[in-house]
Amino acid sequence: MEYRLADNYAKPMQEGEVAKLLNQPGILRIAMIDARDGTPLVHPVWYYYENEKFFLTVAAGGPKARSLKKNPNVYFLVDVADNSQQPYGVRGKGRVRVIDDPEYAAKVTARNVMRYMGSVDSPEAKTLVENAKSSSVIEITPLYMATWKY
């Protein structure tokens, strides 16, 4: 993975700091081009990061899946910016693979539900996992990651 400094006024994050950030349940913002009219779209999503790839799910056949199938280039951002600490984060460009496999989508969603909700046992969690069978998996391979911390 290529790491870059995102801001000349910031310090770079070390690989261990990047791993810690990406392994906590934060929000990934994914930017893409809308296939319908060519305008930008940015969506916050649940994700997990493994083997230098991000994994998330979106509605199969929905606007995000259609847009990513037409143009697999994305920009992503995961950051922390609250009043309790100095801001830091990771952003970069990536390429997407859209995978239409209901069982795989259910597995990815179950992993994200565990990550964000702590269990797949609640009625809400079970509904999310069941509904994921009508989802597509989005696999993002970063081309690089630009990091910063202040």
The tokens of 149 are what?
């911390």
Where in the chain are the domains?
3-149
Q: How confident is the model at residue 9 (pLDDT cuts 50, 70, 90)?
A: very high
User: 94 — phi, psi (to 5°)?
Assistant: -150, 175
Residue-wise pLDDT for 24-62, tens only, equals: 999 999 999 999 999 999 999 999 999 999 999 999 999
Per-residue pLDDT band at 86 (split at 50, 70, 90): confident
Q: What is the DSSP string of 64-82?
A: HHHHHHH--EEEEEEEE--
- pTM listed for this prediction: 0.94
Query: The CATH number of 3-149 is which of 1.20.1270.10, 1.10.10.10, 3.90.1150.10, 2.30.110.10?
Result: 2.30.110.10
Instruction: Report whether pLDDT(83) > 80.
Output: no
- Judged against a pLDDT cut of 80, whether residue 72 lies above it is answered with yes
